[in-house]
Chain A
Amino acid sequence: GAVVSQHPSRVICKSGTSVKIECRSLDFQATTMFWYRQFPKQSLMLMATSNEGSKATYEQGVEKDKFLINHASLTLSTLTVTSAHPEDSSFYICSASKVYTEAFFGQGTRLTVV
């Protein structure tokens, strides 16, 4: 199957700082990437849909100024958590799709804000 790489896999940051998470499709071009968030023992919740070359579409309740998404190329999307607070601590996962195929997920990033 296709490979989606997410980096870093784990990050600890201080409250008030910003953290950038990268999502790369290694062997295919992804016009659309998705960012999800998972709380313990909960389902993956879609945060936003990222389209190459255009603004991301955010789900209801997700602050677009706090979770900045950039999809600069067909193989790279980034999620920046700005002014992180402890309640932003979570597991963040990206996915990318080729046309007419299922979504492939990255390994996820465990963010801990202290």
Chain B
Amino acid sequence: DQQVKQNSPSLSVQEGRISILNCDYTNSMFDYFLWYKKYPAEGPTFLISISSIKDKNEDGRFTVFLNKSAKHLSLHIVPSQPGDSAVYFCAASEGGSNYKLTFGKGTLLTVNP
């Protein structure tokens, strides 16, 4: 039973436009959410996170929105750049930032020049 779901396996956007990556979760005990970016044959790189006490966190071109009632979060990248092309994983934790993570299956983002 997947507790963290990324229902879109892939997404393609034009350079300069907004990329929106979605993530849903089922475990109401999750209290911390993270987004990681991953290139093939490399470990994930942390992008941005959000605590369940917030509904938005912004860092440069990256913004994460959390809707607790819907158990949904999204990552917005604007403007999108070709270098953003990678697999993006949504992850969730029950115990804060340094507890074990449950990952979604990832979404492959392709940003076309």
Q: Which residues of B contact A (CB under 8 A)?
A: 2, 4, 9, 34, 36, 41-46, 49, 89, 96-98, 100-106
Contacts and interface: CB of A to CB of B under 8 A. Distances in A.
Contacts of A98: 98
A43 B104 CA distance: 6
A72 to B, nearest CB: 20
23 contacts: A1-B46, A34-B100, A41-B105, A42-B105, A43-B105, A44-B101, A46-B100, A46-B101, A91-B41, A93-B44, A97-B97, A98-B98, A100-B97, A101-B97, A101-B98, A102-B97, A103-B46, A103-B97, A103-B98, A105-B36, A105-B45, A108-B41, A110-B41
B101 A43 contact: no
A95 B43 CA distance: 9
Is the interface on chain A under 10, 10 to 19, 20 to 34, or 35 or more residues?
Answer: 20 to 34
A36 B44 CA distance: 11
A32 interface: yes
Interface string A72-108: 0000000000000000000101010111111111111
B102 A46 contact: yes
Interface of A: 1, 4, 6, 9, 32, 34, 36, 41-46, 49, 91, 93, 95, 97-108, 110
A52 to B, nearest CB: 13
A44 B103 contact: yes
